């Protein structure tokens, strides 16, 4: 099986497969006489595993760790729990900040009902005012507010 067929079968782009090889997630496959990569069914399963983990947004370093555990089935699976927990925490943290972000953008969007001159635009006014540390829909009173705060998302 050549790289193109592997790509079509798994839905992973050819460039990405080669990238995974460089990154050490896939071992270098055999080469045919013309230098083409030749993959075995085991490579297909391994790449499908990687692809599924990536669909779960698990970083490559974690996937590499999971693969090494898969390769040694006698090892303790406690680390697997830990990896999944870490990724879950990461996703939840990002989720919370994005929900706040959505609220802020919605509030901002509500500032401009009818398009007009930019100088009268509520959105722009809001952004400028917020940058100056005035009260705005984005920095609520509960927030630390002002120009020097740390409202990173």
Partner DNA sequence: CCTTGACTATGGAGTCGCTCCAGGGTTTTC
Partner DNA sequence: GAAAACCCTGGAGCGACTCCATAGTCAAGG
CB atoms within 10 A of CB 110: 12
142's contact among DNA, a second copy, none, with CB below 5 to 8 A by partner kind, is none
Q: Buried b / exposed e across 8-39, counting CB within 10 Å, b at 16+? A: eebebeeebbeebbeeebbeebeeeeeeebeb
Q: Are 83 and 66 in contact (CB under 8 A)?
A: yes
Q: Cβ closer to a second copy: 21 or 122? A: 122
Residue 6: name the closest of 35, 40, 52 by CA.
Answer: 40
36's contact among DNA, a second copy, none, with CB below 5 to 8 A by partner kind, is DNA
- Alpha carbon distances (Å) from 74 to 41, 68, 69, 77, 111: 23, 11, 8, 9, 60
94 is an interface residue for a second copy by CB under 8 A: yes
Binding region for a second copy (CB under 8 A) out of 8-16, 17-25, 32-40: 8-16
Interface contacts to a second copy, rule CB under 8 A: 8-11, 45, 48-49, 51-53, 55-57, 66, 69-70, 72-78, 80-81, 84-85, 87-88, 91-92, 94-95, 98-99, 101-102, 104-106, 108-109, 112, 115-121, 123-124, 127-128, 130-133, 138, 147-153
Interface residue list for DNA (CB under 7 A) = 2-5, 7, 13-16, 18-19, 31, 33-37, 54, 59-61
């Amino acid at each position: 099986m050549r790289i193109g067929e592997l790509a079509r079968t798994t839905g992973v782009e050819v460039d990405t497969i080669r990238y995974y090889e460089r990154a050490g997630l896939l071992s270098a496959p055999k080469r045919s006489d013309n230098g083409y990569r030749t993959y075995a069914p085991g490579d297909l399963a391994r790449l499908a595993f990687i692809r599924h983990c990536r669909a779960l947004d698990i970083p490559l370093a974690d996937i590499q760790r999971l693969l090494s555990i898969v390769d040694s089935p006698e090892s303790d699976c406690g680390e697997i729990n830990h990896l999944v927990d870490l990724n879950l925490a990461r996703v939840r943290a990002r989720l919370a900040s994005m929900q706040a972000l959505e609220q802020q953008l919605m509030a901002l969007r509500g500032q401009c009902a009818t398009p007009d001159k930019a100088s009268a635009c509520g959105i722009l006014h809001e952004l400028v005012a917020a940058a100056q540390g005035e009260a705005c829909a984005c920095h609520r009173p509960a927030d630390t507010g002002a120009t020097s705060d740390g409202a990173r998302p």
